């Protein structure tokens, strides 16, 4: 054991099959772990890509069954997207934050979702879903979804693990997507260093870290987009428990300079 302090291991859980509505994610995860020779231990963090949670929760919409409203038709022309997709996005939206009409060939609709997360197209996603016109929606309440998973692992294994559900989002100012936490349970999403002294003894005056987002990004490194590794096991990270889920990561609009 080197003297270097406790390392963190980020372990891809391979062998997760394609998830279908009502699949038992806890059972499937445990089976994949056993097949891989991995143990899930007290204090581990399990990170799940939103996509498989949405599928298991049957948050799938067939665009062929969607009748776009007149407004969806209008908007679809402005951002050059399928009006049925726009209709679905609007049904998941509480507020349109920004609309990109400058480049119709890659129109963007940045919205606030029901859960409070701000993302392109409200997280409605057409990739990796069976059938040509199927799209997935975000879980209705990702913190609740995470809680149910944590309870499932507790029931099956008798131990507490932390659960994080992630989504892949773009950001203002920076190119490339990153993974963020849209749901969590058993882990405090924010870590507050305020009041602690820095190594020179000065008080750290503004350091509250979004650790759940940093874990999501760490896991994202191994959630190969093309190869389906939707579950990541993290060992060795000492987190705080409690908190109110990933909704703590959503800035109060009154404190937000950018909406």
What residues from 127 to 146 belong to the interface with its own copies (CB under 8 A)?
127-130
Cα–Cα distance between 68 and 4 in angstroms, integer? 58
Please list every residue from 155 through 184 that binds its own copies, using CB under 8 A: 168, 171-180
Asked if 60 interacts with its own copies (CB under 8 A), we say no
Asked if 100 interacts with its own copies (CB under 8 A), we say yes
Q: Toward its own copies, which CB reaches closer, 155 or 178?
A: 178
Please list every residue from 235 through 254 that binds its own copies, using CB under 8 A: 237, 248-252
Asked if 10 interacts with its own copies (CB under 8 A), we say yes
Q: Are the beta carbons of 161 and 44 closer than 8 angstroms?
A: yes
Nearest to 8 by CA among 47, 48, 44, 49: 44
Cα–Cα distance between 179 and 49 in angstroms, integer? 9
Q: Are the beta carbons of 119 and 109 closer than 8 angstroms?
A: no
The helix/strand/coil state of 98 is strand
Q: Toward its own copies, which CB reaches closer, 49 or 150?
A: 49
Asked if 67 interacts with its own copies (CB under 8 A), we say no
Q: Are the beta carbons of 205 and 193 closer than 8 angstroms?
A: no
Q: Toward its own copies, which CB reaches closer, 161 or 233?
A: 233
What does each C-alpha distance from 122 to 35, 90, 128, 254 come to in angstroms?
35, 8, 17, 21
Asked if 256 interacts with its own copies (CB under 8 A), we say yes
Please list every residue from 102 through 121 that binds its own copies, using CB under 8 A: 103, 108, 110, 118
118's CB contacts (< 8 A; 6+ apart) are 97, 110, 111, 112, 259
Q: How far is the CB of 70 from its own copies (least distance, A)?
A: 25
Q: Which two tokens stand for residue 175?
A: 């190119």
Q: Which two tokens stand for residue 74?
A: 């209008």
Q: Toward its own copies, which CB reaches closer, 14 or 69?
A: 14
Look-up of token digits 């119709």:
104
The binder of its own copies chosen from 57, 143, 167, 213 (CB under 8 A): 213
Cα–Cα distance between 124 and 33 in angstroms, integer? 29
Q: Toward its own copies, which CB reaches closer, 108 or 156?
A: 108
The residue count for binding its own copies (CB under 8 A) is 83
Asked if 9 interacts with its own copies (CB under 8 A), we say yes
Contact segment (CB under 8 A) with its own copies among 8-16, 60-68, 72-80, 155-163 equals: 8-16
The binder of its own copies chosen from 105, 155, 226, 242 (CB under 8 A): 226
């Amino acid at each position: 054991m080197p003297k270097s302090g406790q390392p963190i291991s980020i372990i891809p859980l391979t062998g997760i099959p394609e998830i279908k509505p009502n699949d038992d994610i806890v059972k499937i995860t445990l089976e994949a772990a056993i097949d891989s020779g991995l143990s899930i231990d007290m204090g581990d963090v399990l990170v799940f890509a939103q996509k498989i949670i949405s599928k298991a929760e049957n948050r799938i919409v067939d665009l062929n069954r969607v009748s776009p409203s007149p407004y969806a038709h209008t908007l679809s022309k402005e951002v050059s997207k399928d009006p049925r997709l726009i209709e679905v996005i609007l049904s998941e939206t509480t507020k349109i934050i920004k609309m990109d009409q400058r480049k119709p060939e890659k129109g963007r609709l940045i919205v606030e979702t029901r859960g409070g997360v701000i993302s392109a197209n409200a997280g409605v996603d057409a990739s990796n879903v069976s059938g040509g016109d199927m799209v997935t929606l975000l879980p209705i309440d990702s913190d609740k979804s995470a809680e149910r998973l944590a309870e499932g692992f507790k029931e099956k294994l008798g131990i507490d693990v932390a659960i994080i559900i992630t989504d892949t989002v773009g950001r203002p100012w920076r190119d490339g997507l990153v993974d963020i936490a849209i749901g969590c349970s058993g882990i405090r999403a924010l870590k507050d260093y305020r009041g602690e002294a820095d190594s020179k003894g000065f008080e750290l005056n503004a350091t509250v870290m979004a650790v759940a987002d940093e874990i999501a990004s760490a896991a994202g490194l191994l959630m190969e987009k093309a190869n389906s590794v939707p579950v990541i096991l993290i060992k060795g990270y000492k987190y705080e428990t409690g908190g109110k889920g990933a909704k703590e990561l959503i800035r109060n609009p009154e404190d937000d300079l950018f909406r």
